[in-house]
Structure 1
Amino acid sequence: MTANPVLWNLDARGVATVTLNRPEVNNAYDGGLIGGVLAAMDELGKKPNLRVVVLRGNGKHFQAGADLKWINGVRPKSAEENEAVSRATFEAVQRLNTLPIPTVALVQGGCFGGGTGVISACDVVIAADNAMFSITEVRWGLTAAIIIPQLCDAIGVRQVRRYALTGERFGADEARRIGLVHEVAPLADLETAGAKMVEQLLANGPEALAETKALAMESSFGGVAVDDAAYARLVKMHSARRQTKEASEGLASFAEKRAADWEGNA
């Protein structure tokens, strides 16, 4: 297993690259990766010269959503422990969402479940032409509660009502059509496309960028603050759903590589 689930570096221009680094499980998130994202945001927040954050995933896939083996291990724990897990996950996404500097996500391969929430929380998303997306939670008897606000910002309620209910997969061109990504590039040119976008952002006034982003966030579904009642409700819903009988069956179906028996486990 990878020693450091999240890597980051900061160059002389003030451009930080944050890399999700669990390629052996397609960068699926667990407690370590969530903690790594939060730690990276903490450290980068101390850098006075920070101008742009680029988010990428190591390996063939950007981010495969939750590590369902880890989720299944969390599920039987106490309600308080489950809420703590959901709270940390929410805060990792929100830290990206509300960072006062521009964020750019570079997406290749799979981007599923929580991965779609992560990119929805970024300001600019560039996808490789091999990228594939899905809001998968319902397939496992779970809900995407803590990323629904960001998804509504990115693709609108109408598209969320389709893709978060069907759990279907869709490609990079459809993701661009509905607004989940801004640009599609050949896989071999993904890094180049990202570098061009970074240069575009660096050409702009840092204070003006921060103020513009803050103004945009004022009308944002995803701008839920961590001390808001809405935040607490989303965390409770997300964690409570994980502990239902339906979720138990959904996670078992994943582990056993079979179709879920929703009728027999209602």
Structure 2
Amino acid sequence: MSDVLLSWPQPAVACLTLNRPHAGNALDEALLGALHEQLQALAEHPGLRALVLDGAGEHLCTGADLEWMRRSRDFDHARNLEDASLLANVLQRLDDFPVPVLMLARGAVFGGALGLLCCADHVLAAEDARFCFSEARLGLAPALISPYVVRAMGVRQARRYMLSAEVFGTEDALRLQLVHRLVPAAELEQARDRWLATLLQTGPQASREIKQMLARLAGRDHLLDEQGCNLQLIARLRTSSEGQHGLAAFFERSRPDWAQ
């Protein structure tokens, strides 16, 4: 079965579901490749009015897949650049998606999943969801997601949460403008349907034009320029002594040398 499932809850509404519930829908090469392929195909669909992004099972996405991270320890700089481009390409494709994107945040929304979250136009969060920029605990940086996250929550708040790698809840996520509305977990689908009903009252061409207008106002070209630097940064950190030690300590279930 595919790592990303496509369904059509309504004729003009597509839903992409991350489908690795046994692994917390963690991101790996296969899932990112499938997600990019689906986004690319759906972007060309003439009758599409909205896209929903969800996760199967308990979590939206727990971040990077453990086995993928384990394999990356042996990659050289060039291979790490190629590997990191998988997530960078998905983020760009989702951020540029031509119709409104709704994301449902449930369970854990960690690491790279927060980048996906910040590329959505509207985010509904289950009240018990939790969030974390976890990379610094591994001696890494949330480099590829940073342009989208900083655009959403601002540099000041990004400094606190990216540097501390602390877990935070939905009230903080709402305050930080990472999510738009909190609902009980059991009511997430009903809230989704209500938002879609409201959205489908708007002009489809107007929606597409508004997204393009807002991208220009937000300085999309500058954002894309930053990603070249961020790709180099994450590739460098993955092969650094600190990054290698942090990943090794994680897999050995030990404390890295810097942890007090």
- The SS at the match of 2:144 is helix
CA contact (8 A) 2:40 2:93 kept: no
1:50-129 maps to which residues of 2 (within 5 A)?
A: 50-129=48-127
Q: Report the TM-score, using the length of structure 2 for normalisation.
A: 0.95
- The SS at the match of 2:14 is strand
State the partner residue of 1:232: 228
Q: Any gaps of 5 or more consecutive residues in structure 2?
A: none
Which residue, 5, 9, 13 being the options, matches 2:7?
9
State the partner residue of 2:155: 157
State the partner residue of 1:214: 212
- How far apart are the structure 2 equivalents of 1:12 and 1:121? 22
CA contact (8 A) 1:10 1:16 kept: yes
- The SS at the match of 1:218 is helix
Q: CA offsets, 1:189-228, max 9 Å, x none? A: 011111111111111111111111111111326x3589x5
State the partner residue of 1:46: 44
- How far apart are the structure 1 equivalents of 2:23 and 2:8? 26
Q: Report the TM-score, using the length of structure 1 for normalisation.
A: 0.93
State the partner residue of 1:262: 258
Which residue, 220, 237, 246 being the options, matches 1:250?
246
Q: Please tell me the residue identity of whatever aligns with 1:93.
A: L
The ranges of structure 1 where at least 4 consecutive aligned residues each deviate by more than 3 angstroms after the TM superposition are none
Give the % identical residues: 36
1:121-200 maps to which residues of 2 (within 5 A)?
A: 121-200=119-198
How many pairs align?
A: 260
CA contact (8 A) 2:106 2:128 kept: yes
Q: CA offsets, 1:32-63, max 9 Å, x none? A: 01101111112212311111000000010110
Q: CA offsets, 1:143-168, max 9 Å, x none? A: 11111010011111111011011000
Cα RMSD (Å): 1.7
CA contact (8 A) 1:246 1:262 kept: no
Q: CA offsets, 1:50-104, max 9 Å, x none? A: 1100000001011011113312202322322211111121010111111111000
- How far apart are the structure 2 equivalents of 1:23 and 1:140? 23
CA contact (8 A) 1:124 1:181 kept: yes
- How far apart are the structure 2 equivalents of 1:124 and 1:104? 5
CA contact (8 A) 1:9 1:17 kept: yes
- How far apart are the structure 1 equivalents of 2:231 and 2:216? 21
